[in-house]
């Protein structure tokens, strides 16, 4: 089964367009990084899921208390979860992450 047809099967019946499941290139890159980390054995999907659930929970709590307006999409939480997982594994530290984010921002 090809990747395209596997994705289409997974997304069948959802509101997500199987031809373009990501709304921005950075979402696809974040997803690809997470997949590669799991495939290479750096982490498990359960480890990543734990971080994602935590990020979504923090956002829900902040919104419920009126501390923030709704607006962050799923992949914003996905990216934060990925960053936290990379920190937990010692793959990246805050200084390196911030430097890389600045470099990316300056290149846009």
Over its length of 108 residues, how does the chain's per-residue pLDDT go in tens digits? 444 556 666 656 655 555 677 888 888 888 888 999 999 999 999 999 999 999 988 887 777 666 665 566 788 889 999 999 999 998 888 888 888 778 877 765
How far is residue 35's CA from residue 25's CA, in Å, rounded to a whole number? Answer: 15
How far is residue 38's CA from residue 36's CA, in Å, rounded to a whole number? Answer: 5
pTM of the model: 0.68
How far is residue 79's CA from residue 30's CA, in Å, rounded to a whole number? Answer: 6
CA 77 centroid distance within chain:
6
Q: How many residues does the chain have?
A: 108
């Amino acid at each position: 089964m090809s990747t395209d047809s596997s994705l289409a099967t997974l997304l069948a019946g959802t509101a997500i367009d199987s031809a373009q499941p990501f709304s921005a290139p950075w979402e696809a890159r974040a997803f690809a990084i997470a997949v590669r980390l799991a495939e290479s054995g750096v982490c498990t999907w359960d480890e990543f899921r734990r971080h994602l659930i935590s990020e979504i929970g923090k956002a829900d709590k902040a919104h419920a208390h009126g501390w923030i307006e709704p607006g962050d999409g799923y992949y914003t939480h996905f990216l934060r979860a990925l960053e936290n997982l990379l920190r937990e594994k010692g793959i990246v530290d805050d200084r390196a992450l911030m430097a890389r984010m600045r470099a990316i921002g300056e290149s846009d």
